[in-house]
Structure formats: structure tokens, C-alpha cells
Amino acid sequence: MSLVEAALKKMQAARATPNGKPAPRNGPPRPPEVQPIAEVVLRSSHGHIDGAANQEKMVRIDMSALRLARLAPPESQQRELADQYRHIKRPLIGAATGRGANKLPNGQLIMMASAMPGEGKTFTSINLALSMAMEKDVSVLLVDADVAKPHISRLFGLEREPGLLNVLRDEASNIESVILPTNVPNLSILPAGDHSDTATELLASQRMEQAFAYLASSHPNRVVLIDSPPLLLTSEARALAHWVGQIVIVVRAEYTPHQAVLDAISHLGENRSISLVLNQSKVTTSSYYGYGPPSGGSSA
């Protein structure tokens, strides 16, 4: 039995309560349509934000609207979820920075993935970014690379802002110029940018490799979280996976078929650092499972 199959069996066992029934989920599912939970404003007197070249605009995030949209936990569950995300982020930050763990090549580039839509990937990306931004010596860049359905850009009111695809099309542009700081300390956002019919080719291009290499090296303390399309539905996700050092696959409890997760992992190739996050399930054990290359061990 492979390490991934063993982890999936472990997650299935952890989801059951002592009476054998599935454990309840963490809150109700997110509605299919939500209003923007942020707006782009002029910087005015907010001051300089380290690591953000775009000093004219900023994204003002409304945390109350984030909760109303069910993209953040209600205050009654805030502490519990914060503890869970601390457990999830610690090994990821360690592999990105080398603090308390072996630093992975391109470990600062972390792709947030799922097998299929509806797994809670965007919810996980946003909350993991907010949790990482609380670190004292880490800055976080949240990248919307789900270019077919740019949920991050829509939620934060950034649909009309230039972003990743604009930079990939125009080799004279500077990727830092389309990164927008936010009112959350240590957090910035890179929108998806204008739609392109050749998005897969752009994401697989040498220009993409150069852009990611710059993001990984220009700010040593910056962690880049990349919200990607579902692995089993698009070719864009597989193109993105080629450039990153860590991959997090979000698995929705009582929803994602076992085989779908295995199929998604099979698209990523061998010798990859892959982690699984179990979403929307209340369990008494950890909901995070980390893996090194197939020849390595596992941790939970």
C-alpha cells in the first residue's frame, strides 16, 4: 500500500465517530455565489508596504464580510480553526524557509490544488494565507492562478485589475507592478488578470518559469500561495505544478472519491512534496497529512 493510500484510509477512519456514523462537517457549505469581500482603494496615508511595488492601490479586506460569505469561520469557531491552520502551516513554512526542517527547492512556491471543484480549495487558500500572514518574519503572496474561474480575484473585487496573465503576455512588464498590498499586514495578492485563450501555454512557458523564480528569490521571507484550477478538469493545474516546490491537495470529507484523489496525485509526477488537507470534517485527530517524495516517510 502506498503512503498516499494509507493516508486516505486514515482520513476515512478519522471521519467516523465512535458510533460509526460520519462526523459532522465544520459549518454549512459555502453558498455558490458570494459578494466581493474586499475593495481596491487608493493607498493615501497607509504608508509603504515592504515587498509590494504597487504603492498606489491596496486591497481593503472586510473581515466581517469574509465571515458572512462563509469564507472565514464564525467567531465561535475562530480559535478552533486557527489552531488547525497553525498545524497545517508549520511544516509548509519549514520547507519553504528551512526553519526547523530541510528547505525544499522552490519550497516558497506552494500550489493549492484539489481533484475536483467544490472541495473548499479557495476557502483553504484564503484562511491559510491569513494564518501565515500572522507570522512575525514571513510575508505572504496569494496568487490567483485559477485563470479559467478566478475565484480569488472575484471575491476580492480584482476582476478588472491586471495580473498574472497580463505579465505572462507582456515580457516587458514587471510582475511586482501587479501585486497589490492589503490592509492585512504581511499579505498581498496577485490577481489572475485578463482572460486568455492560451492560458495553458502561458502557464507552461519560460516566462512563467522566470516569473515564479523571481517571486521565490526576490524576497527571501516571502511565501507564495498559488490557488490553482482542479487537477482533474484542466491542464492549467498540471502546467503550474511543474514550477512549484510544494503541493497541497484539499480533500472534502464525505465528498471526494478516493480514486479521484489518487488520480489527481498521479498527474503530478514522482518525487513531489505533496500534502493532503481534509476539509469540512470535525475529527479528533489532525486533518493534515504531509508527504515527501515517495521514497520518504510520512507525518501526521
pLDDT at 10: 59
The reported pTM is 0.82
Three-state secondary structure of the chain: CCHHHHHHHHHHHHCECCCCCECCCCCCCCCCCCCCCEEEEECCCCCCCCCCCCCCEEEEECHHHHHHCCCCCCHHHHHHHHHHHHHHHHHHHHHHHCCCCCCCCCCCEEEEEECCCCCCHHHHHHHHHHHHHCCCCCEEEEEECCCCCCHHHHHCCCCCCCCHHHHHHCCCCCHHHHCEEECCCCEEEECCCCCCCCHHHHHCCHHHHHHHHHHHHCCCCEEEEEECCCCCCCCHHHHHHCCCCEEEEEEECCCCCHHHHHHHHHCCCCCCCEEEEEECCCCCCCCEEEECCCCCCEEC
Tens of pLDDT, residue by residue over 21-74, are 444 444 444 444 546 788 888 765 444 444 445 558 899 999 999 988 888 888
pLDDT of 232 higher than 90: yes
**Which pLDDT tens digit goes with each residue over 152-206?**
999 999 999 999 999 999 988 899 999 999 999 999 999 999 999 999 999 999 9
Domains of the chain: 3-299 (3.40.50.300)
